[in-house]
């Protein structure tokens, strides 16, 4: 095998902007997480024949492997060699080869080894294998049978696969270059939407590529209008869409204020995002114009939250001593009206949650069902907790808390029956999006 490269991309939590972010009008606040998807890419010599191959291995999931044979006709065709399905892997390969248009006679065969950090999936009976640099959980079931925690594994997967393949077919790839990041993002959005069979807001792919961001979506038509049924036009249309089209979306980098982090609790009963989205959309249409007023009210809360976070960052810079005192006050639990910034953030989230509770009652979509409301209320009483939400689409998947770095939430809740439904995930927010890694850091996992 020829020299390899490796890349990783983060998972996500949508702190504010759930549902509204599907509309390009509304801003959302997405944090990238320390839980990452990784890929090591290696090349094998070309066969010198009319096709080449891409093999994707995911050893952690009962030695899962997907083999693709790639042929060039009027567009590039990606065939599953042994009928084993992974729509996200297949679409990543398909979009990439149609974009890069490698010559099948001379193109190297490619092997992609995927590794995912443990927080993406429930631990179950998995075993931990590690080396000096990384540790991963190995499960005895195939990927589709292992329960997910909802951190965006498919967005992370597609982003690292697209990046790894680009590094082979396009060479000179620099994941720190804004232009290469834009190419990776656009390709990953197309592949991810096509694999999902729908165009979501794309915040998960954007966070996987750009890291923690304020995100406002692109127009869904960009992807919907691709001529997927006309092979002769497809490859050219992909090129134009990726390289020459203005996607007109927002991905402004953000950082939480110093000394403050996000922690996530897995509630593990699970909710289906598509069902929640469908119910909210139906409610919205049936209740216009009142539903628009409710969305505006949520949006106001979202914007006040984002502004409150920015004000805290300013306070930390301009008055470090006052800011340090504030963090200590939060840790002590005696923090009612701790500062105007904290009050603004708390009021903003209350405004968002009350309106989502209203939509929950009226639409039948369990965005913030009462069990999650009472769990969040209990969390708000813990020392060091600033605020908390049901992230993303809402439902029973998880909760996200904004806490001080020094707050030890697991020890405050351990053994307490009030928190028996929550498993605190071993992660925190981390701002970086896609990064290059060292291939040697994935060797000899034991
Ligand atoms: N480590 C992995 N190896 C291979 N495929 C993966 C991996 N993680 C996720 N996937 C792909 O992503 C799918 C899960 O995507 P999805 O249902 O959108 O969940 P999520 O909300 O975590 O993104 C899996 O069925 C599989 O196709
Ligand atoms: C409703 C949404 O705005 C947010 C969904 O956020 P989640 O974080 O719940 O997403 P999944 O990982 O896809 O389940 C839909 C969207 O933005 O696409």
1: confidence class by pLDDT, cuts 50, 70, 90: low
Residue range 226-259, pLDDT digits in tens: 999 998 899 999 999 999 999 999 999 999 999 9
pLDDT (0 to 100) of residue 75? 87
Whether residue 104 sits in one domain with residue 65? yes
User: Per 3-state DSSP, what percentage of the chain is helix, strand, and coil (rounded to 5)?
Assistant: 40, 25, 35
- Interval between CA 18 and ligand 2 midpoint (Å): 7
397: confidence class by pLDDT, cuts 50, 70, 90: confident
pLDDT (0 to 100) of residue 3? 63
Residue range 254-296, pLDDT digits in tens: 999 999 999 999 886 667 889 999 999 999 999 999 999 999 9
Q: Is 18 in the pocket of ligand 2 (CB under 6 A)?
A: yes
- Residue 431 to residue 427: CA distance in whole angstroms: 13
The preferred substitution site among 17, 389, 392, 399 for testing ligand 2, maximizing ligand atoms within 8 Å of CB, is 392
* pLDDT over threshold 90, residue 196: yes
Which residue is closest in CA terms to ligand 1's atom 15?
Answer: 154
pLDDT (0 to 100) of residue 328? 95
Whether residue 235 sits in one domain with residue 99? yes
- Interval between CA 287 and ligand 1 midpoint (Å): 35
In CATH, what number is assigned to the domain containing residue 374? 3.30.70.890
Q: Is 76 in the pocket of ligand 2 (CB under 6 A)?
A: no
| Pocket around ligand 1 at a 6 A CB cut-off | 58, 86, 88, 114, 116, 143-144, 148, 150, 152-155, 157
What would the mean pLDDT of 140-163 be, rounded to a whole number? 94
- Interval between CA 37 and ligand 1 midpoint (Å): 10
Whether residue 166 sits in one domain with residue 46? yes
Which residue is closest in CA terms to ligand 2's atom 8?
Answer: 392
What would the mean pLDDT of 389-416 be, rounded to a whole number? 95
What would the mean pLDDT of 120-130 be, rounded to a whole number? 92
For residue 204, give the ligand nearest its CA. Answer: 2
In CATH, what number is assigned to the domain containing residue 129? 3.30.230.10
Whether residue 400 sits in one domain with residue 277? yes
Mean pLDDT of the chain: 95
pLDDT (0 to 100) of residue 171? 82
334: confidence class by pLDDT, cuts 50, 70, 90: confident
DSSP 36-97: EEEEEEEEE---SSSEEEEEEEETTBTTEEEEEEEEESSSEEEEESS----HHHHHHHHHHH
* pLDDT over threshold 70, residue 34: yes
Whether ipTM > 0.90 holds is yes
What would the mean pLDDT of 199-225 be, rounded to a whole number? 96
341: Cβ contacts below 8 Å, ≥ 6 apart: 308, 311, 312, 315
Instruction: Report residue 133: phi and psi, to 5°.
Output: -110, -30
Q: State the closest ligand 2 atom to the C-alpha of 150, by its place in the atom list counted from 1.
A: 12
Whether residue 313 sits in one domain with residue 234? no
Residue range(s) defining the domain that contains residue 129: 2-253+432-442
Whether residue 242 sits in one domain with residue 144? yes
Whether residue 206 sits in one domain with residue 292? no
Overall domain count for the chain:
2
2: confidence class by pLDDT, cuts 50, 70, 90: low
Which residue is closest in CA terms to ligand 1's atom 18?
Answer: 154
Element housing 380 (H / E)? helix 370-380
Whether residue 49 sits in one domain with residue 198? yes
Whether residue 163 sits in one domain with residue 113? yes
pLDDT (0 to 100) of residue 122? 84
- Residue 51 to residue 100: CA distance in whole angstroms: 15
Element housing 397 (H / E)? none
Whether residue 120 sits in one domain with residue 101? yes
pLDDT (0 to 100) of residue 270? 67
Q: Is 279 in the pocket of ligand 2 (CB under 6 A)?
A: no
- Residue 47 to residue 239: CA distance in whole angstroms: 27
pLDDT (0 to 100) of residue 269? 66
pLDDT (0 to 100) of residue 148? 86
Whether residue 276 sits in one domain with residue 242? no
Q: What percent of the chain has pLDDT over 70?
A: 99
The preferred substitution site among 32, 33, 393 for testing ligand 2, maximizing ligand atoms within 8 Å of CB, is 393
What would the mean pLDDT of 359-381 be, rounded to a whole number? 96
For residue 203, give the ligand nearest its CA. Answer: 2
pLDDT (0 to 100) of residue 49? 86
- Interval between CA 19 and ligand 1 midpoint (Å): 21
Residue range 407-428, pLDDT digits in tens: 999 999 999 999 999 999 888 9
Residue 198 DSSP class: S
Q: Are 59 and 26 in contact (CB under 8 A)?
A: no
Residue range 152-189, pLDDT digits in tens: 999 999 999 999 999 999 989 999 999 999 999 999 99
Whether residue 210 sits in one domain with residue 141? yes
Angle at 104 between CA 103 and CA 107, to 5 degrees: 75
Say which range, 98-102, 118-122, 268-272, has the weakest mean pLDDT.
Answer: 268-272
DSSP 271-290: --HHHHHHHHHHHHHHTTTH
- Interval between CA 321 and ligand 1 midpoint (Å): 45
């Amino acid at each position: 095998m020829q020299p390899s490269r490796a890349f990783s991309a983060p998972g996500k939590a949508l702190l504010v902007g759930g549902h509204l972010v599907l509309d390009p009008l509304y801003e959302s606040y997405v944090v990238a997480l320390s839980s990452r998807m990784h890929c090591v890419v290696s090349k094998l010599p070309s066969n010198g024949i009319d096709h080449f191959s891409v093999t994707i291995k995911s050893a952690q999931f009962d030695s899962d492997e997907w083999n693709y044979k790639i042929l060039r006709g009027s567009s590039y065709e990606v065939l599953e060699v042994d009928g084993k399905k992974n729509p996200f892997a297949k679409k990543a390969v398909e979009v990439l080869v149609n974009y890069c248009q490698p010559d099948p006679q001379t193109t190297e065969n490619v092997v992609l080894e995927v590794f995912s950090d443990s927080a993406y999936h429930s631990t179950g009976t998995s075993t931990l294998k590690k080396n000096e640099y990384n540790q991963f959980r190995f499960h005895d079931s195939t990927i589709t049978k292992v329960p997910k925690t909802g951190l965006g594994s498919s967005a992370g997967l597609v982003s690292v696969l697209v990046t790894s393949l680009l590094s082979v077919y396009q060479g000179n790839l620099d994941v720190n270059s804004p232009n290469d990041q834009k190419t990776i993002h656009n390709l990953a959005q197309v592949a991810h939407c096509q694999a999902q069979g729908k165009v979501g807001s794309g915040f998960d792919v954007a966070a996987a590529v750009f890291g923690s961001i304020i995100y406002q979506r692109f127009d869904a038509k960009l992807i919907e209008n691709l001529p997927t049924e006309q092979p002769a036009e497809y490859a050219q249309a992909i090129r134009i869409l990726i390289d020459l089209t203005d996607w007109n979306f927002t991905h402004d980098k953000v950082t939480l204020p110093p000394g403050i982090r996000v922690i996530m609790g897995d509630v593990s009963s699970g909710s289906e995002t598509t069902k929640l989205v469908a119910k909210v959309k139906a409610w919205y249409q049936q209740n216009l114009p009142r539903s628009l007023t409710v969305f505006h009210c949520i949006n106001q809360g979202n914007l006040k939250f984002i502004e409150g976070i920015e004000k805290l960052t300013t306070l930390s810079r301009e008055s470090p001593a006052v800011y340090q005192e504030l963090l200590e006050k939060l840790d002590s639990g005696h923090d009612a009206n701790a500062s105007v910034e904290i009050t603004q953030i708390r009021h903003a989230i209350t405004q968002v949650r009350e309106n989502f509770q209203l939509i929950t009652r009226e639409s039948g979509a369990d965005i913030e069902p009462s069990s999650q409301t009472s769990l969040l209320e209990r969390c708000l009483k813990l020392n060091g907790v600033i605020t908390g939400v049901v992230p993303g689409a809402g439902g029973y998947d998880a909760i996200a808390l904004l806490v001080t770095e020094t707050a030890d939430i697991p020890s405050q809740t351990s053994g307490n029956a009030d928190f028996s439904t929550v498993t605190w995930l071993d992660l925190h927010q981390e701002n970086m999006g896609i990064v290059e890694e060292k291939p040697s850091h994935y060797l000899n996992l034991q």
